[in-house]
Structures are given as structure tokens and as C-alpha cells.
Amino acid sequence: MLPLLRRYFAQKELIAHLANKNALPVKLLAVSKTRPASEVAVLYKAGQRDFGENYLQEALKKQQLLAHLDMTWHFIGPIQSNKTRDISRYFSWVHSVDRLKIAVRLDQQRPVNLAPLNICLQVNIDEEETKSGFYLDELPNVIEPILALKNVRLRGLMAIPKVDKSIHEQRLSFKKLADAQEKINQSFDIKLDTLSMGMSGDLEAAIAEGSTMVRIGTAIFGERAKNTV
Ligand SMILES: *Cc1c(COP(=O)(O)O)cnc(C)c1O
């Protein structure tokens, strides 16, 4: 774990350099999918508080094992309708809302004794058939109905661009997302404050384009087993 953490901190310096503005702090979401609770606890001891998970059953087990620690859990994986009840109950954030119907269910099922669920809309920024998410031109139609929901709080946009791209192309994709967010803020007179973009392979580009939250798995924990996402 220690060498990996060192790699992360080296990366943080790189990030600060690339961001090149007295930067808004970029939040690190540690993506702990497939990693055991013991490794998550080590990162917690090092000061990390926000953790991202993709698979509901795996996440719930880990949350139980780590229930004594004060962590913020983010759901970042694909969402089937029959999973929204548990997701709305056991997470503080959902980054992967890709249909209006999912936002409505999360809103209806969020327990009333909890603060509103923070959500980001996932955008299929490079219009890939294999990826989920809203297309950019669909966004204007869903913002209003989502803003009307009381138990979810729209915080921003999330995207996973194509993988095999140059830094330049990565930046173009992230810029599309950042521009879309700015346009939404202007048209709806709101202040979405979260751009969830950047993973181990493209975090530099994401931060250069204004990411406020990078979702990092491999660069912190090391490679995942091949047959996992
Ligand atoms: C797995 C995953 C990540 C982390 O990816 P790494 O390349 O390991 O940093 C980030 N976001 C989402 C949505 C993921 O599924």
C-alpha cells in the first residue's frame, strides 16, 4: 500500500502543476471496487474519506465491515431499477444517473430522515454505443424535472470518455462536459458545482479542464484483476 500511496502523492504534485491555476481543490474519490475492506481502512487511516463503488452487493458488504469509520460513499456504477432502493439508502452520492426514471426512483426512495442524495448526471460524452449516459442534447430536457425533485440534489455532470485517446483528445472530451455544465448553469440560473471527471488514465487532462472530483482506482490501489471492471 505504501508505494501506491506514494505514487498518488507524486501524482498530486503533477496535478497541481498541470492545473496551473490557484486551483479550486480537486477532490479525490478513491475507487475501491474489488478491493478488500482492509485496504480501504488503510486509506482511511491516511486521511481519505470519500470512496466510490460500482457493485451494490460488494459495496454493502464493505460498508458493513467499515461501519465504525466515518466515510462518504459514492455509487459510480451502472444502475438497474431494482437497485435504486438500496442505493438511495446507503450512499451519499450517485455519479451515474443516466435516465430520468432513475433520478425519480432515487428521489422517491431516499429515506426522509437523510439529507438529500447528491447526484450527478452521467453523460455519454463521446457518443459511444457501449456506454450509458445522456447525450448532450438530451440534457436540457431533463434538468428541470430533476431540479423539481426534493430528495435528490443535482450537483453536476460525470463522464467517462473514450480510453484510447491522446491527452489532447481527452481534453476536448472533458471540455465538452465542462462547457455543457456552464451552459446549464446559465440557462437554468443554478450553480452546479461538481464536474466528476478523470480516472487513473486521464486525470491530468480532466483536471486541466476543470474537474472538481477525480475518480481514481488503479493509481491508488494498483491493477485490478483482469476479469473485473
Ligand atoms: C473503475 C472506475 C473508475 C476508476 O478507474 P481507474 O482507471 O482504476 O482509476 C472511475 N470511474 C468509474 C465510473 C469506474 O467504473
What band does 1 get if pLDDT is binned at 50, 70 and 90?
A: very low
- Distances in Å between the Cα of 46 and the Cα atoms of 23, 39, 75, 136, 165 are 23, 11, 22, 38, 33
Predicted pLDDT at 176: 97
Give the burial string for 155-180 (b: 16+ CB within 10 Å, else e): bbbbbbbeeebeeeebbbbbebbbeb
**Portion of the chain with pLDDT greater than 90, in percent:** 83
| Contact 215 CB / ligand 1 (< 6 Å) | yes
Radius of gyration (C-alpha) of the chain in whole angstroms: 17
At 141-170, the pLDDT tens digits run: 999 999 999 999 999 999 999 987 899 999
Q: Is the model's pLDDT at 4 over the cut of 60?
A: no
Predicted pLDDT at 2: 45
Q: Is the model's pLDDT at 138 over the cut of 70?
A: yes
Helices marked H in the chain: 2-19, 37-45, 56-65, 84-90, 100-109, 139-147, 167-188, 203-208, 218-221
| Contact 54 CB / ligand 1 (< 6 Å) | yes
| Contact 97 CB / ligand 1 (< 6 Å) | no
Strand partners, 213: 27, 196
Predicted pLDDT at 134: 98
Q: Is the model's pLDDT at 211 over the cut of 60?
A: yes
pLDDT, average across residues 37-42: 96
pLDDT, average across residues 170-192: 97
3-state secondary structure of 101: helix
Going from the Cα of 24 to the center of ligand 1, the distance in angstroms, rounded, reads 22
Lowest mean pLDDT across 15-19, 88-92, 114-118, 182-186? 15-19
Q: Is the model's pLDDT at 94 over the cut of 80?
A: yes
Task: State the maximum Cα–Cα separation within the chain, in Å, rounded to a whole number.
Answer: 46
Q: Please say whether the beta carbons of 15 and 200 come within 8 A.
A: no
Predicted pLDDT at 8: 58
At 196-205, the pLDDT tens digits run: 999 999 998 9
Angle at 194 between CA 90 and CA 137, to 5 degrees: 105
3-state secondary structure of 94: strand
CA-nearest residue for atom 12, ligand 1, is 76
Predicted pLDDT at 163: 87
Which domains does the chain carry? 2-221 (3.20.20.10)
